Amino acid sequence: MNIKPLRCLLGAAALVAASTAAAAWPEKPITMVVPFPAGSGTDSVGRIFAREMTSRLGQQVIVENKPGGNGTIAAQQVARSKPDGYTILISTNTPLSAAPWLQKSVPYDVLKDFTPIARGGNLPFILVANMKQTFNSVQELVQQAKASPGKLTYASGNSTGIVAGATLSHAAGIETLHVPYKGTPQALTDLIGGQVDYMFTDLTSGMPFVQSKKIKALAVSTAKPSTLLPELPSMEAAGIDNFDINSWNGFLGPADTDEEAVTTLNKTINEIVSDAKVKQELARLGFDAFSGTQQEFAAFVRDQYELWGKLIKDAGIQVQ
């Protein structure tokens, strides 16, 4: 028997096995599921993250838009996907913090069916109105609403818009009509056209229309002023107490997502938000980018789930 060829074959097999075992994640393209339409704030931000992740991970990150159902369609798809890290959700508070409280049921358990990976940052919201309206401030909007109960209409393209609009009506003691849309781009189109009077929208989607004077901005949706838009008053400064609503952004996989994938993705996302050029690019979209540990984001998701339940209950929003 010729021992030498056998040894060579065994050696080659060992090298192949070692190479396979040492292969680093990821080994194939990653799908990033976006729960909103193309052109929305989350979509715009997600595409920048996808581009940067592709560059850093050496595998293409494909953006897939799955709008509808307050983000629950996209969230369900990710929750039911294989937990290998190759399907991830770029989420906001809409499908994970608000939808479970706005809808009678959602097809997943927020706290059990996902693996939080990393925070992406915040997407501040602004209160905007169509140019045909005579009011130019929050207080003038409130005065007009009180003078004509039930006449003013506000649009929403996501749960933040729903909750912010209802919270304003509740806090100011005004009666208004809510007009829901499938996504922010559609809501903004009708706002510009004058079919609705005002809405809360994310900076990314709304600011280009504010800058082109197609709509007007009245305030930011937070209690404190925004560093991204220091010229706009906060809701508190505009006379609405205890109003502090923001949209968060982060990345999640299905439950029990592969630990190596989670670690690699968390490290990569932290690198992206620490890149000065990328952070500036995101800021131009109105996105405040920052991250942290996987454990910090997991705790944040739990806290936001409880907070939004309280916001929705306090605003008296009816479950759909």
- Tokens for 115, please give them: 């693996």
Q: 186, 220, 254: which is the final residue of a domain?
A: 220
Q: What are the residue ranges in the chain where pLDDT is below 50?
A: 8-9, 14-21
Residue 130 parent element (H or E)? strand 125-130
CA distance 100 to 306: 10
Q: What is residue 1's predicted lDDT score, i.e. its pLDDT?
A: 53
Within a domain: 4: no
Q: Answer for the pair 120, 88: CB distance below 8 angstroms, yes or no.
A: no
- Tokens for 213, please give them: 């004077």
Three-state SS at 202 = strand
CA distance 172 to 96: 27
Q: Per residue in 246-270, is it b (16+ CB within 10 Å) or e — as a string?
A: bbbbbbbbbeebbeebbebbbebbb
pTM value > 0.85: no
Number of folded domains that form the chain: 2
Within a domain: 99: yes
Strands 153-156 and 114-123, by their bridges, are unpaired
Can you give the residue range of the structural domain that contains 290? 30-123+246-314
Q: Answer for the pair 228, 288: CB distance below 8 angstroms, yes or no.
A: yes
Do 39 and 115 belong together in one domain? yes
Q: What is residue 273's predicted lDDT score, i.e. its pLDDT?
A: 97
Do 290 and 303 belong together in one domain? yes
Do 118 and 149 belong together in one domain? no
- Tokens for 38, please give them: 């193309």
Q: What is residue 315's predicted lDDT score, i.e. its pLDDT?
A: 86
Do 74 and 111 belong together in one domain? yes
Do 143 and 283 belong together in one domain? no
Instruction: List the Cα angle 113/119/125 in 5-degree steps.
Output: 105
Residue 172 maps to which CATH number? Answer: 3.40.190.10
